[in-house]
Structure 1
Amino acid sequence: MNIWTKQYPEEIPASITYENTGLQDYLIRAAEQVPDKEAVEFLGRSWTYEKLYEEASAFAGALQNLGVEKGTRVAVMLANTPQSVVGYYGILLAGGIVVQTNPLSVERELEHQLVDSGAEVILCLDLVYPKVSAVKERTSLKHIIVTSISDSLPFPKNCIYPFIQKRKNGISVKITPSSTLHRYKELLQQKKTYEPQPLDPAADLALLQYTGGTTGPAKGVMLTHRNLVANTTQCMRWMYKIDHGNEVLLCALPFFHVYGMTVGMNFSIMDQSKMVILPKFDPEEVLKTIEKQKVTIFPGAPTMYIGLIHQPSVTKYDLSSIRVCISGSAPLPLEVQQRFEELTGGKLNEGYGLTEASPVTHFNLMWGKRPQGSIGLPWPDTEVRILSQETGLEAGPGEVGELLIRGPQVMQGYWKQPEETAIALQDGWLYTGDMGYMDEEGYFYIVDRKKDMIIAGGFNIYPREIEEVLYEHPDVKEAAAVGIPDPYRGETVKVFLVVQDGKELTEETLDTFCRERLAAYKIPRQYEFRTELPKTMVGKILRRALQEEEKQKER
């Protein structure tokens, strides 16, 4: 028995028996067992489980009619909408592999993911169709399926929305269907029957989830049906006091992020509960939704909870329905946790995970001891080691080292990257690159990130990706991107630059340059020009030294 399982309440087992089934089978089961139960609510329109499965199966049939077979990669580039759920489960029903793509991605990022994954079909929002169309010929895409938020709105909102969209975004996308370009609604209306595909849950991939790399382009994390079923099941068992089947989950975390996908969408389907979907996070809209829909579970990132507690109108709303909030993606400040619990009367707890682990590996007890600053205890069946960087041996309690994880939720590897896989996975252990320690009771703490990753507003940002864009500017000689503290986003990006001799650059010029090449959340918020940057003896720029300088300024 591991030391941390001694802290488990009797309701949480140290080990779980996982169903040997595909993730899509939970939607089929819900449609059979609770067909008339409300599954999804979206801006005034509802779907029962029967209706949700009906649309997912129609989408699966349409995909197979377009040539999707077992193992075909199908990309999804959507904001949170019912189409996200239908598309995701429809792809799995058809035997395909989902490739989640952030709709904020710029063309270069999108092209890399589509080329690397070999995706043959993409389901995208009309707002991003121009980007998809621009890169199509340089990818393996054979079909583009376009949908609009209005496709899931009730009457008359669905009629009004296109005009509002054009006024707000200045965009009005016209789709002329062809043999390779399709309207989502029209495909569903065909009501094609899908042919179930043979499945080995432990071996067959359900998802390619792209994560940035510190040493190169984004990598596709290979997650099997077993990985995702296991992590969702672990989540279910951890929240042992919830009213299974009768919860109302607020899904404001993006489904294209593995965290929102697992603890929001997949959890809701497995639990046969109701998900209330919001296409974006707007504090006032979230508060209204919690009160109106009587939300009981609200997974989020610290920036969301910060935004809510600082919303001037927060005390006007009845938030007492909230029972459980699962915080991830970034460290949760203690004062935020305390204030949110005061406002709601519910529990707000912090956990830890990473894309390579589906993603959750640790969490604080929802109804038990919560040591300040701890990421909590490892989940059932999750083995954890702290590897000392000095000795290469397992560290003792209180000793800092690299966090290693082994469990049923750990990925199979990186798509088409055996060398990267061999570095990250050794003897079944996932080397996280995060530095931390375990106390004498088995609670874990993260103290630093070995990989210089920046986490801003819950989004993972990799310095090298920003630096490579900056180096494309002919007047940039040297560049280093680091994360600096930000009261709202947790961290934000600051860039240190050395300009080519005889050249001049301004923040405005660089901001424009970056906005054309990076997703909005990756754009540097601060620039500092220098004559030189700190370096090692071999000329490697020391990001850590720059971060230390910034910390000194805060003191």
Structure 2
Amino acid sequence: MSIEKPWLKLWPKEVPTNLDHPNLSLPQTLESASKEFPNRPAIIFEDSRLSYSQLYDSMERFAAGLQHLGIAKGDRVAIYLYNCPQFVIATYGALKAGAIVVPCSAAYKERELEHILMDSGSKILVTQERLLPIAEKAVDKANIQNIIVTGDQDYKFLSSLDEAPSPEGSHVPFLKLLRKNNPSPVDVPINPKEDLAFLCYTGGTTGTPKGCMLTHFNCVCDQLHEIYFFKLRRGEEVLVLFSPLFHIHGLNRCMGTYLTAASTIILFERFNVVKVLEAIEKYRVTVFPGVPTAYIALINYPEIKKHDLSSVRIWKSAAAPLPTEVWFKFRELTGAHISVGWGLTEASPGLTLTPLEMTEYKPGMVGIPEIDTEVAVFDVEKNVKVPPGVVGELRARGPQIMKGYWNKPEETMKVFSNGWLCTGDLGYMDENGIFYFVDRLKDVIKVSGFQVWPMEVEDVLCSHPAVLEVAVVGIPDEYHGEVPKAYVVLRKEFKGQVKEEDLIKYCEGKMAKYKVPKKVEFVEELPKTPSGKILRRLLRCR
């Protein structure tokens, strides 16, 4: 057994440790699925269906439309949409035209969107009617040549373009673009290993918004890692997808992976516990790629035991740390266990996964490195690997790692060290090769020189029966430098019954004194990103 890779002894049966990754572009993966399964539903959205052949036809029409608007290889096309079939079509259509897709959060306001459009140099913006007021203001300073606009109801006409309405206006209607362009775009040669597929903007490991340059090869490798690791059955899986498509988890790990696997995607604009549970039963869903907030909603839904969830064979959680209490409560209620993964935008995004055979969970556990992926723990100051059990910075290397940051060579140099991506995440590896996420390096609280990991304190507080959600941050203290403060969302039935001192006392018997929160503030909700990550910086500013 390799000393460098102790996780291989836990490797799932019949799963290769290495792959001969095909040199394919993302549109080629969709083309393959459409040829093999032309009539299989690719996307189901609000009960409207789009087959693989229809999706591929729409992709080609959109690509031809972009080319008629002057888009050439390497141009950037920004997509500012909520989850909808048009997002999928615009993404693959832009890629087919040789463009680079710039996904923009639908939560962005004018200033945020303007920054992304200007930094990326996008030429076209695809958006929705309800987002148009923000989009029109944001493009004033950007070099946007055309805005393509889709209506909320356009998805109903994607399989019958002849019946689609023809709205007038100064912008390009999405359906009109599809209808007037035959599915025959000019073929654009793509070098998957060199040509970019996405510019995904992230705060990254150094804090400032920047575009991660992800190639077609990066993305296809990431997809294949999940396909092989979970032994996905080509043309058979059914997935519920509510993670935002503008986030790399929804964009590539969910949408991209499961289209490549010729699966059926039940798409939602956003998570709704009742509608998602109904969809699981109605469509016999087999894969549930969740985020912690979705699992928290599920375990707190009083009717969950009345739903038949037996069709789901893969329950996953990613995009943010999963509280230990949530994992065990979900297993208690459903009998199923959640496979937890870890990654980041710079890695397309996957780095580790928990094998389905691993049915136990420990705080912070994120599994073992994916296929063809290496993860190691480094002492940041000495830049050397540390032994098992010692906390350090998690670093990774593999074929899914980005080329770098868009137009930011100095920032790129900062996050690579001897071929390793420095993730800015703290964690450790145990003696069996299982990795554990501890916290973000920048979120560590230093109390009189002692290090406090917010997640450790949060895990204890989450075990209190009154606590629904919690976030811990460091606040200034004259004597200690910093002390922990907890922001707590209480369960409805406990509001007004639990006091600050109750939770502080609860922690005192479960951790060292310096780790115990010195203050607890009760809030109605925690600030989060669209993907469910807690925005600690906003809490620090309060």
TM-score relative to the length of structure 2: 0.81
Structure 2 SS opposite 1:189: helix
Classify 1:546/1:312 alpha carbon distance in 2 versus 1 (closer, same or farther; 3 Å). closer
Shift of 1:5: 1.6
Q: d(CA) in 2 for partners of 1:43 and 1:194?
A: 30
Q: Deviations over 1:76-126 (max 9, x none)?
A: 111111111111111110100010100111111111101000011011111
1:264 positional shift = 1.6
Amino acid at match of 2:38: P
Matched with 1:514 is none
Q: Do residues 323 (structure 1) and 313 (structure 2) align?
A: yes
The answer to whether residue 159 in structure 2 is matched with residue 153 in structure 1 is no
Q: Distance in 2 between matches of 1:65 and 1:535?
A: 63
Kindly provide the amino acid, as one letter, of the partner of residue 93 in structure 2.
G
Deviation sequence 1:5-53 (CA, Å, 0-9, x none): 2211331211111110101101111111111111111111111100000
Distance 1:395 1:376 in 2: 18
Aligned partner of 1:293 among 269, 283, 298: 283
Distance 1:544 1:210, change over 3 A: farther
In structure 2, relative to structure 1, the CA distance for the partners of 1:113 and 1:543 (3 Å cut) is: farther
Distance verdict in 2 for CA 1:319–1:546, change over 3 Å: closer
Residue among 427, 433, 438 paired with 2:429? 438
Letter in 2 for 1:189: R
User: Aligned partner of 2:428: which letter?
Assistant: Y
Deviation of 1:296 after TM superposition, in Å, equals 0.9
Corresponding position of 2:197: 206
In 1: Cα distance, 2:169 partner to 2:222 partner: 39
Residue 228 (structure 2) pairs with residue 225 (structure 1):
no
AA in 2 matched with 1:372: K
Letter in 2 for 1:308: L
**Equivalent residue in structure 1 for 2:69, among 66, 70, 92:** 66
Q: CA deviation at 1:291?
A: 1.4
Q: Quick one: which amino acid aligns to residue 153 of structure 1?
A: K
Query: Are the counterparts in 2 of residues 251 and 278 from structure 1 also a CA contact under 8 Å?
Result: yes
Secondary structure of the structure 2 residue equivalent to 1:153: helix
Deviation readout 1:208-260 (Å, 9 max, x if unpaired): 001025755411011000100000000001102x4332110001111111011
Check the 8 A contact 1:42/1:153 in 2, yes or no: no
Establish whether residue 380 from structure 1 lines up as the match of residue 346 from structure 2.
no
Equivalent positions of 1:248-267 (< 5 A) are: 248-267=238-257
Structure 2 SS opposite 1:256: coil
Q: Name the amino acid aligned to 1:248.
A: V
Question: How many Å separate the matches in 2 of 1:495 and 1:368?
Answer: 34
- Does the 8 Å CA contact 1:424/1:432 hold for their aligned counterparts? yes
Q: Is the 8 A contact 1:337 1:349 kept in 2?
A: no
Query: Take 2:28 and 2:292, find their aligned partners in 1: how far apart are those partners?
Result: 32
Task: Provide the secondary structure at the position in 2 that maps to 1:208.
Answer: strand
In structure 2, C-alpha distance between the alignment counterparts of 1:298 and 1:82, rounded to whole Å: 19
325-334 or 435-444: bigger deviation = 325-334
Match of 2:78, SS state, is strand
Give the whole-Å Cα distance in 2 for the aligned partners of 1:234 and 1:489.
34
Q: Which residue of structure 2 aligns with residue 126 of structure 1?
A: 129
Counterpart code for 2:424: G
What is the SS of the residue equivalent to 1:203? coil
- 2:233 counterpart of 1:243: yes
Question: d(CA) in 1 for partners of 2:233 and 2:515?
Answer: 49
Higher mean C-alpha displacement, 330-339 vs 544-553: 544-553
1:346 positional shift: 4.1
Corresponding position: 1:27 with 2:30 = yes
Q: Are the structure 2 counterparts of residues 98 and 332 from structure 1 closer, same or farther at C-alpha, using a change threshold of 3 Å? A: same
Which among 409, 414, 422 is matched to residue 418 of structure 1?
409
How far apart are residue 423 of structure 1 and its match?
A: 0.3
Task: Determine helix, strand or coil for the equivalent of 2:421.
Answer: strand
Q: Deviations over 1:371-421 (max 9, x none)?
A: 423111001111122111354321011111111101001111110111110
Structure 1, gaps ≥5 residues long = 156-161, 163-173, 455-481, 497-532
Contact persistence 2:485–2:519 (CA under 8 A): no
- Judge conservation of contact 2:389–2:428 (CA < 8 Å) in 1: yes
Partner of 2:398: 407
Matched, 1:335 2:322: no
Paired residue secondary structure (2:442): coil
- 2:39 alignment partner in structure 1: 36
1:384-403 mapped onto 2 (5 Å cutoff): 384-389=375-380, 391-403=382-394
* In the alignment, structure 1 residue 102 sits paired with structure 2 residue 94: no
Note the C-alpha offset of 1:336. 2.3
Relative to 1, partners in 2 of residues 1:534 and 1:132: Cα closer, same or farther, differing over 3 Å? same
Distance 1:543 1:35, change over 3 A: farther
For residue 452 of structure 1, the aligned residue among 424, 435, 443 is 443
CA contact (8 A) 1:214 1:453 kept: no
Find the counterpart in structure 1 of residue 493 from structure 2. Answer: none
Q: 1:484-507 CA distances to partner (integer Å, 9 max, x unpaired)?
A: 9596885559897xxxxxxxxxxx
* Cα deviation code 1:268-288 (max 9, x no counterpart): 111111000011111111111
Q: Of 80, 95, 105, which residue of structure 1 is paired with 2:83?
A: 80
Name which of 134, 138, 155 aligns with 1:135.
138
Q: Secondary structure at the match of 1:431?
A: strand
* Partners of 1:214 and 1:452 within 8 A in 2: no
* Shift in CA distance, 140/489, structure 1 to aligned 2, threshold 3 Å: farther
Q: Which runs of 5+ in 2 are unaligned?
A: 159-164, 446-453, 487-513, 522-542
**How many equivalent pairs are there?**
469
1:213 to 1:438, Cα distance in 2 relative to 1, 3 A? closer
The alpha carbon displacement at 1:543 in A equals 6.6
Aligned residue among 355, 360, 375 for 1:365: 355
Mean CA deviation greater in 243-252 or 96-105: 243-252
Partner SS state of residue 365, structure 1: coil
Aligned to 2:274: 284
Contact 1:24–1:92 (Cα < 8 Å) also in 2: yes
Q: Which amino acid aligns with 1:321?
A: S
**Alignment partner, residue 112 of structure 1:** 115
Contact 1:385–1:403 at 8 Å: present in 2 too? yes
Instruction: State the SS of the aligned residue for 2:412.
Output: helix
Contact 1:146 1:182 in 2 (8 A): yes
Structure 1 position 3, deviation (Å): 1.5
User: What SS class does the counterpart of residue 427 from structure 2 fall into?
Assistant: strand
Letter in 1 for 2:126: L
- Determine which of 166, 169, 172 is the counterpart of 1:177: 169
**Cα distance per residue 1:269-312 (max 9 Å; x no partner):** 11111000011111111111111111110101011011012112
C-alpha separation in 1, matches of 2:359 and 2:515: 36
CA shift in 2, pair 1:330/1:71, >3 Å: same
Residue 366 of structure 1: how far off its partner (Å): 1.1
Aligned to 1:197: 188
Q: CA deviation at 1:313?
A: 2.5
CA 1:128–1:542: 2 relative to 1, 3 Å: farther
Query: For the aligned residues, what is the CA RMSD?
Result: 2.9
Calculate the TM-score normalised by the size of structure 1.
0.79
SS of equivalent residue, structure 1 residue 451: helix
